[in-house]
Amino acid sequence: MLRARLSASASLRLAGRNFKLLSPRPTQHLRLLHGAFRPSTVRRKDDDADDKKRKKTPPEELAEVVTRAANGSPKASGKSGVGNGSGSGTSNGAGDGVPKAVARLQVPEVYPEVLALPIVRRPLFPGFYKAVVVKEPAVIDAIKEAVRRGQPYIGAFLLKDDKADVDTITDMDKVYPTGVFAQITSIFGAKGNNGEDESLTCVLFPHRRIRATSIVHNKGAASQAKVEPESASSNESESKDKSKVPLVTEDANPNSSGDVVPLDAAPEFLEGAAQAPLHVTQFLRGYDVSVTSVENLDDLPYDRNADQIKAVTAEIVNTFKDIATMNPIFRDQIANFSMTQSAGSMFEEPARLADFAAAVSAGETAELQDILECLDIEKRIHMSLVILKKELLNAQLQSKIAKDVEGSIQKRQREFYLLEQLKGIKRELGIESDGKDKLVEKFRERATKLAMPEHIRPVFDEELAKLQTLEPVSSEFSVSRNYLDWLTSIPWGQRSTENFDIQHAIKVLDEDHYGLKDIKDRILEFIAVGKLRGTVEGKIICFVGPPGVGKTSIGKSIARALSRQFYRFSVGGLTDVAEIKGHRRTYVGAMPGKVIQSLKKVQTENPLILIDEIDKVGRGYNGDPSSALLELLDPEQNSSFLDHYLDLPVDLSKVLFVCTANQLDTIPGPLLDRMEVIQLSGYIADEKKAIAKQYLAPTAKENAGLKEAQVDITDDAIEKLIKEYCREAGVRNLKKQIDKIFRKASFNIVKQLGEEGLPESAGITPEGKAAAESAETAKRDAVREEANQETPGQKISENEPAPGTSEQPRKQLKVPDHIKVDVNPENLKDYVGSPIFLSDRLYDVTPPGTVMGLAWTSMGGSALYIESILESTLARSRQPSFKQTGKLGDVMKESSTIAYSFAKGFVAREFEENRFFERAQIHLHCPEGAVGKDGPSAGITMATALLSLALDHPIDPTVAMTGELTLTGKVLRIGGLKEKAVAAKRSGVKTILFPEANTADWQELEDNVKEGLEGVPVAWYADVYERIFALTIDKHRAATRWATDLAKADERDKELK
């Protein structure tokens, strides 16, 4: 009979639970936690009051904490509520009658059949505690019964599938056959809502390596007649009393062998245990668990004194030391392990050292299983050293990352601390208040001066509150600050007082522009309507005309006449929608679009915004800006214009938008439909002359420094300049030439007077003189002189010292009164060079087949000659042909083909004897072949040129024409009549033929444009023929003109034959 003999007892709190250690020797109290010894008898003290106060702990966390506590990790004691052993906090954990800790039994050396428990992720190693969680009810009941019977032994085998979560083994192929024979030292249950254990945490102590050979009992094979426990004959109260009796062990050699019997069995059973062997696992066949037959695995013999083993063991110890310096978890585990081992015993037990290395490392599952299966000690310690080295590398990397992060944090904390100290010092001295507080106060002060709409004020308040919570060093702070800056920079509710005085508007327009009577009338009408309505909102004006006619300056004049602020930006070549709609706030450097920027600059809600070059808007991968302009320039939509940066609707209905363009063809239809188009044609010579005398010449004279000098340009010189140098529609080139004249005059005066007449010292102010004589300038001159001596003529160094400076170093010099310069037609060539246009027309006398047409371009109107010739003499053997040159577009080529067909039919109908087109090889050309030409308005001009060639009748060189021609001879409407009329007058034309449908356009022309021009409207080509040919042509000669040529050609052909 086994008797309990106690030599000492001690109390230990393990992971928050109270345990009683009963051991034959006091030294075994410590070995319970740290050594590779057999566990002492442990019994949990009943303390239901404490259990009710502790919180429920998840089984997985409980298993981890208990494992650390069992292996001696100090961190386990810090977990609260681990040791209650109860799922609900009111139960004793593993169930009534089952001890929480198992008595230290004599471990059998042979245990042929064992309860098989699969584990995941990491295998167990002999000598090191491990807690596992069991969740299947049958397995929980079997483990409780095994503990109650005094047979707390299981076989732990690693599952091959890490994701599997089972407590039984149905197939040996699902686990690794090599595992460990482990003893259950403690169990802790977790109660569910139904009062039953949902899971059971078992603390296992592996003793040795085993190999599973087969499954002798599997889940579902439980017998109908379940084996009754031996203690079933005892009544329930007896069982409960026995479970509370401390379990003791015989004070015998712990390594001795013997039969295993349940300690709580009846005396009669204990007396007969020596006579007959007992199948101690027979009771497991009544449960749905896995029971396997196993065999022990023994390490292969080795020489512990071998040099190789000693060297590898020493390296493992050194590696442990290195890891312990960097990883605190390793340091605790290594310290606990070393308490049970002397320096010599580590080298005495290399197998144990290898198992410890594998047990504490975070190696791969396959690597750890290989170490468990390895029975060759020398190979095992090599494998353990490899995973330890990997652990060391990982620890070094973690240490480096931790140091880098810690250094960065410490630097930021130090900077923040110093900045806060600096702010505090400045506030105490009254030098500066907190920057964030000043910003908030500034934004509040701005907002009080603005009449923010109702939908804007809440956004401002929310963003301001957000700014107050942010630290100035954060990136979000700058984003919020910039947003509030823009939000309070927009002039919400601030409008300038408009001036709708018509007389004031007339005065301003006349001061800034000459002529343009129809344009001024349209603008005055626009202002008059605004005076009656009280506002001019809802109007989008677009000025269209050639360059240099004053479109932009007219916009400035309108702003001045209305007393509105003026802002201009160009959209020519614009390809990014964000320039109109703004960027999203999330982007670095984000800002609102041009329109919101203009409001910030002018500080009023009703400025005049001029959008220049709207016909040249580009399109790129960032969107289509012309589509974004649709919302901006639509009076029905711009009252709630949404900018991407502000992300708030902004009312732009009070803004007067004025756009400029050179042509309408490239403006998208939907955008053009939203604007009121006002056409500006080019200037005629008289208008250019007046503009040059009243505006261009005085400005150029002042800019050249000749404001008080007697330098003038005569009227004849201006006329010659316009006629021979500046024939374009606008006055931009004329301005350049006048600027050139006055610059040249300034140069001639300075050159003529020389240093005596205009001394250099007279132009330097006292401030400039002091700067020139300063030490900085002297130092700069010394450096230059030294550099020039070393390398004569070398370039000025970029690193040379800066000279002395002053705000106004020079002043304007006065030209002596006796100097007088007059620019006249005779000396104009000396100032601007040779004339570009030598005559008014390309032809003073046009040959047959040549006619002057009129064309419209973005630069204004121009004369366009149509030339046609006969490529070879007529002969009946030749085939007719027709070709065109002059860089003609598709539309113009079609017009030439129509004109050719019409001319052939017209000659065949009116001059039956004329066989010209039957044999003629004709070439039609439009001069200035490098310039592209297109459009249908040259139809009647081409037909007239072909008829002139066919009838051998020259056209009057002072006649020009324009109009589209159909195959039946109908003359259709054309555009740009005013520009064409101006070009015709500039070229010396006296008669201009145009479609009858354009009569209204002709009547709207100013009298000074029509002066000297005879306008002839034509509806059919017959009208053109009557005006050009009927009065001067000899019909008989025209009909028989080519008969003689054909006869001569026939005679030549006969002679050749």
Catalytic residue among 937, 978, 985, 987: 937
Residues 735 and 691: their CA atoms lie apart, in Å, by 10
In this structure, the number of other CB atoms found within 10 A of the CB of residue 292 comes to 25
d(CA 434, CA 443): 14
| Alpha-carbon span 230 to 415, nearest angstrom | 75
Do the Cβ atoms of 676 and 669 come closer than 8 Å? no
Listed in sequence order, the residues at least 6 apart from 542 whose beta carbon sits closer than 8 Å to its beta carbon are 614, 658, 659, 660, 661, 672, 675, 676, 677, 678
Using DSSP's 3-state secondary structure scheme, residue 757 falls into helix
Mutual angle of helices 475-489 and 594-602, in 10-degree steps: 60
> Whole-angstrom Cα distance, residue 382 to residue 225?
52
Query: CA–CA separation, 598 vs 604, rounded Å?
Result: 9
Query: What distance in Å separates the CA atoms of residue 390 and residue 211, rounded to the nearest whole number?
Result: 29
CA distance 371 to 383: 7
- C-alpha distances (whole Å) from 830 to each of 243, 754, 811, 833 are 129, 20, 29, 6
Of the candidates 106, 95, 100, 99, the one whose C-alpha atom is nearest the C-alpha of residue 82 is 100
CA 31 vs CA 127, 394, 511: distances in Å: 11, 31, 110
Which run of H or E residues covers position 565?
Answer: none
Catalytic choice (688, 701, 980, 985): 980
Q: Is 624 exposed, middle or buried (0-12, 13-18, 19+ CB in 10 A)?
A: middle
Name residue, tokens 């009771």: 283
- Per DSSP, 927 falls in state S
Q: 175-197 burial by CB neighbour count: b if 16+ within 10 A, else e?
A: bbbbbbbbbbbbbbbbbeeeeeb
Q: Are 1006 and 1013 in contact (CB under 8 A)?
A: no
What distance lies between CA 156 and its chain's CA centroid?
A: 56
- Reported in sequence order, the residue ranges of 825-969 that DSSP labels E, i.e. its strands, are 850-857, 860-870, 881-885, 921-925, 959-961, 964-965
**Within 13 Å and on the Cβ side, how many CA atoms surround 712?**
7
- Tallying the residues shown for the chain, one arrives at 1057
Q: Which residues are registered as beta bridge partners of 854?
A: 863
Q: What are phi and psi of 661, to 5 degrees?
A: -155, 155
* CA-closest candidate to residue 718, choices 689, 682, 743: 689
String of b and e for 265-289 (b: at least 16 CB within 10 Å)? beeeeeeebeeeeeebbebbbbbbb
Q: Is 868 a catalytic residue?
A: no
Read off the DSSP letter of residue 855: E
Q: What are 319's two structure tokens?
A: 């590696």
Pairing of strands 178-191, 197-217: antiparallel
Instruction: Classify residue 1004 by burial, with Cβ atoms within 10 Å: 0-12, 13-18, 19+.
Output: exposed
Is the Cβ–Cβ distance between 144 and 175 less than 8 Å?
no
135 tagged catalytic: no
The single residue listed with the structure tokens 């555009």 is 975
CA-based Rg of the chain, rounded to a whole angstrom? 54
Q: Report the Cα–Cα distance between both ends of the chain, in Å, rounded.
A: 153
Instruction: Provide the CB-side half-sphere exposure for 451 (13 A, CA).
Output: 7
**Residues carrying an active site annotation:** 937, 980
